[in-house]
Chains A and B, each alone.
Chain A
């Protein structure tokens, strides 16, 4: 098979590039802890009201100032609850599901993002370093009110 000398080298470079990409992704995931959202459990979206966890969504303080859980429901066309308060510097774990159709969840200016599916509870953790107001917006088309579906996360100064 005839392959030009330069092209051979070019293919070797592309394979090396591919290996570099693969390693870098692994390093980001495991050394820097940049983790994608995972599945917490499956749930019946029509019976969230009867579920002890989901009938009362919102913020749970696990270790004051250090560890928080947020239970968030997406539904057409709002986040429940619409406003969340957590302190800076604490590990916040979001549990998110949908009560009706698919939605998206994204916190602007952070790496937090998730596809929100009815029937599935997604889980993702984040530490807000800077106090301030962060927008959470719906990033998946969910009908006429989609563009107006957003909420606010108020990150308070760290509790000492």
Chain B
């Protein structure tokens, strides 16, 4: 085996610190998830938690949403993207200092926002819909968090394009290409929420303006809110396309279509935000329908991903001796926890994808909007497809970084606890939603619960306990990989898959940035300008009520 490329010292430390904060956030955020699931099952711990300083279910829910959906994901992703750029290009960052600066700006933002949430001044959930009003420090924290991630991303793009200049005519390595593309998507998406916070919420919370138009704020938020989902997903896809096939003993089925799928995700994931606003009175129905069509177009790159990933795995399974129509599935290395985590994540994600098509289906959404179904849905997507894949990734990435061996038995149990718990939990939430139960509600305390919901609520709690067991086994494994003692250091090679066909055969237009990025921007402009102009010209600024609501 040839020498394994090691990240330069500063880059390595940077990746490690991203993972430390990500895992720490998940360990706190996950705890509140457990309390919420228990509340559904009739075990209410909030009286006890009150003695420890927690003010309400909703303060806990804000922590759960912000720490799990924003902090765990963003830190893990920025760390993983950094790894993919540096390892993929076998080249140090153009300026590690710049990326470190981005990291510190992000972290300062995290601290400010966390202080506001922990002191119960910002129990506004992770969507922070106005006119719920948090102190300006909270919005400043969010701003710094996003700006810090931009700085890091600019550093990554700078490194990538420096490499392109140094290597004219060579196809960029897929993992580095996909990492930079993921950041460009994030950049385009976060412009919406940056506009919401900087133009509306920050001046308003500082007392400079009297109110905010809530529909305008929602529109800018969801410009960001949906592509956020793809910012979560694409790093998992990077792993499914470029690492999982190698881990399973095979190759990437098609480098060409992998790149094409990523470009289509960039084009189609931003101009679709109105599918979160199908039931908003202020968005014209025709525009909601246009966004519905654009949303459904994501079916095409998603199905391409399904094909390529399954084909790569089938290739691996058959090489391992799997026979027959489905025999190759059992021949895959299910005993490898990293592989099992990602296979289960992908399998569960198929249901998430089908549910997503229903959510996006315009009028069907009337049954599902803001119901417990949605909570079930995004626990399959960000909670499993993304999170369980990230767990699987960390099972080789962290040993690579720390040189300590993975405790395989615990990791194997972890994966199955998490997947089975999530299946029970999420299935029950989907059913509750169809029965009419709302999301964001402590259903264990709601006065209107019909007896038919009780069995489902109990299943949420049971699934939640199994899920939390899986989650804390993961935290335990990460702690062992960080602080445990290893008898002798191990060398782990990051499992980057080769493509079945030489990437050099991939057409140049799939490795050129300008047309795609311009296309993506143009689509956003077309999809949003008319409605934004209408909302801005007809603004109804609304202030927060005098009474504090939480």
Asked if B281 and A39 sit within 8 Å, CB to CB, the answer is yes
Set of chain B residues within 8 Å of A137, measured between Cβ atoms: 436, 438, 448
- B167, CB-defined interface residue at 8 Å: no
> A109-130 interface mask toward B, CB cutoff 8 Å, 1 = contact, 0 = none?
1011111011111110000000
Number of contact residues on A: which range applies?
35 or more
> A128-160 interface mask toward B, CB cutoff 8 Å, 1 = contact, 0 = none?
000000010111111110111010000000000
- B230, CB-defined interface residue at 8 Å: no
Asked if A144 and B56 sit within 8 Å, CB to CB, the answer is yes
Q: How far is the CB of B450 from chain A (nearest CB, A)?
A: 8
- B26, CB-defined interface residue at 8 Å: no
Set of chain A residues within 8 Å of B198, measured between Cβ atoms: none
Show the binding face of A for B, using Cβ within 8 Å.
1-4, 6-7, 10-11, 13-15, 17-18, 21-22, 24-25, 28-29, 34-40, 42-46, 76, 100-102, 104, 106, 108-109, 111-115, 117-123, 135, 137-144, 146-148, 150
Q: Which residues in chain B, 524-550, are within 8 Å of chain A measured between CB atoms?
A: 538, 540, 542-545, 547, 549-550
> B302-317 interface mask toward A, CB cutoff 8 Å, 1 = contact, 0 = none?
0110011001000000
Given contacts A15-B300, A29-B363, contact A139 B438 (CB under 8 A): yes
Give me 16 other A-B pairs in contact (C-beta within 8 A), A111-B363, A140-B370, A146-B440 excluded. Answer: A1-B256, A2-B254, A7-B308, A21-B357, A28-B362, A28-B363, A34-B366, A37-B279, A104-B370, A111-B367, A113-B366, A115-B279, A117-B214, A118-B214, A143-B58, A143-B550
Which residue of the partner chain, among A111, A119, A148, contacts B542 with CB atoms under 8 Å? Answer: A119
- B131, CB-defined interface residue at 8 Å: yes
In chain B, what residue has the closest Cβ to A26?
Answer: B289
Given contacts A147-B446, A148-B447, contact A14 B303 (CB under 8 A): yes
Asked if B213 and A143 sit within 8 Å, CB to CB, the answer is no
Residue with the greatest number of chain B CB neighbours at <10 A, chosen from A42, A139, A141: A141
Which residue of the partner chain, among A15, A76, A106, contacts B438 with CB atoms under 8 Å? Answer: A106
- B501, CB-defined interface residue at 8 Å: yes
Q: Which of B290-298, B325-333, B423-431 contacts A (4 or more CB under 8 A)?
A: B290-298
In chain B, what residue has the closest Cβ to A119?
Answer: B540
Set of chain A residues within 8 Å of B90, measured between Cβ atoms: none
Q: Which residues in chain B, 224-271, are within 8 Å of chain A measured between CB atoms?
A: 253-254, 256-257
Set of chain B residues within 8 Å of A4, measured between Cβ atoms: 253-254, 311
> B362-395 interface mask toward A, CB cutoff 8 Å, 1 = contact, 0 = none?
1111110111000000000000000000000000
Which residue of the partner chain, among A44, A45, A46, A120, contacts B282 with CB atoms under 8 Å? Answer: A120
- How far, in angstroms, from A135 to B436 measured CA to CA in the complex? 10
Q: Which residues in chain B, 83-132, are within 8 Å of chain A measured between CB atoms?
A: 125, 129, 131-132
Given contacts A21-B357, A138-B438, A139-B371, contact A29 B544 (CB under 8 A): no
Asked if B311 and A121 sit within 8 Å, CB to CB, the answer is no
Asked if A147 and B441 sit within 8 Å, CB to CB, the answer is yes
Asked if A39 and B282 sit within 8 Å, CB to CB, the answer is yes
- How far, in angstroms, from A150 to B505 measured CA to CA in the complex? 62
Asked if B304 and A11 sit within 8 Å, CB to CB, the answer is yes
Set of chain A residues within 8 Å of B289, measured between Cβ atoms: 25, 29
Set of chain B residues within 8 Å of A6, measured between Cβ atoms: 307
Q: Is the interface of B mostly helix, strand, loop or mixed?
A: loop
- How far, in angstroms, from A118 to B440 measured CA to CA in the complex? 20
Q: How far is the CB of A153 from chain B (nearest CB, A)?
A: 13
- B159, CB-defined interface residue at 8 Å: no
Asked if B58 and A36 sit within 8 Å, CB to CB, the answer is no
Set of chain B residues within 8 Å of A147, measured between Cβ atoms: 441-443, 445-447
Set of chain A residues within 8 Å of B297, measured between Cβ atoms: 18
Set of chain B residues within 8 Å of A44, measured between Cβ atoms: 540
- How far, in angstroms, from A53 to B174 measured CA to CA in the complex? 61
- How far, in angstroms, from A3 to B259 measured CA to CA in the complex? 12
Q: Which residues in chain B, 134-163, are within 8 Å of chain A measured between CB atoms?
A: none
In chain A, what residue has the closest Cβ to B282?
Answer: A120
Which residue of the partner chain, among A2, A39, A114, A141, contacts B256 with CB atoms under 8 Å? Answer: A2
Asked if A76 and B436 sit within 8 Å, CB to CB, the answer is no
Q: How far is the CB of B356 from chain A (nearest CB, A)?
A: 12
- B70, CB-defined interface residue at 8 Å: no
- 9 interchain pairs, CB-CB under 8 A: A2-B256, A21-B357, A29-B362, A39-B282, A76-B545, A113-B369, A119-B542, A137-B436, A141-B61
In chain B, what residue has the closest Cβ to A142?
Answer: B549
Asked if B254 and A104 sit within 8 Å, CB to CB, the answer is no
Asked if A115 and B369 sit within 8 Å, CB to CB, the answer is yes
- B507, CB-defined interface residue at 8 Å: yes
Set of chain A residues within 8 Å of B361, measured between Cβ atoms: 21, 24-25
In chain B, what residue has the closest Cβ to A116?
Answer: B281
In chain B, what residue has the closest Cβ to A32?
Answer: B363
> B268-294 interface mask toward A, CB cutoff 8 Å, 1 = contact, 0 = none?
000000000111111011001100110
Asked if B279 and A76 sit within 8 Å, CB to CB, the answer is no
- How far, in angstroms, from A135 to B285 measured CA to CA in the complex? 27
- How far, in angstroms, from A120 to B370 measured CA to CA in the complex? 19
Asked if A146 and B441 sit within 8 Å, CB to CB, the answer is yes
Which residue of the partner chain, among B293, B369, B547, contacts A139 with CB atoms under 8 Å? Answer: B369
Residue with the greatest number of chain B CB neighbours at <10 A, chosen from A35, A138, A147, A148: A147
Asked if B363 and A35 sit within 8 Å, CB to CB, the answer is yes
Set of chain A residues within 8 Å of B285, measured between Cβ atoms: 35-36, 38
Q: How far is the CB of A133 from chain B (nearest CB, A)?
A: 11
Asked if B288 and A36 sit within 8 Å, CB to CB, the answer is yes
Q: How far is the CB of A103 from chain B (nearest CB, A)?
A: 10
Which residue of the partner chain, among B288, B308, B363, contacts A34 with CB atoms under 8 Å? Answer: B363
Which residue of the partner chain, among B256, B281, B505, contacts A115 with CB atoms under 8 Å? Answer: B281
In chain B, what residue has the closest Cβ to A148?
Answer: B447
- How far, in angstroms, from A112 to B279 measured CA to CA in the complex? 10
- How far, in angstroms, from A13 to B303 measured CA to CA in the complex? 9
Asked if B370 and A139 sit within 8 Å, CB to CB, the answer is yes
Q: How far is the CB of B56 from chain A (nearest CB, A)?
A: 6
Asked if A109 and B436 sit within 8 Å, CB to CB, the answer is yes
Which residue of the partner chain, among B61, B363, B505, contacts A36 with CB atoms under 8 Å? Answer: B363
- How far, in angstroms, from A147 to B58 measured CA to CA in the complex? 11
- B215, CB-defined interface residue at 8 Å: yes
Given contacts A34-B366, A102-B129, A115-B280, contact A11 B507 (CB under 8 A): no
Which residue of the partner chain, among B218, B280, B296, B366, contacts A111 with CB atoms under 8 Å? Answer: B366
Q: How far is the CB of A94 from chain B (nearest CB, A)?
A: 11
Set of chain B residues within 8 Å of A138, measured between Cβ atoms: 438
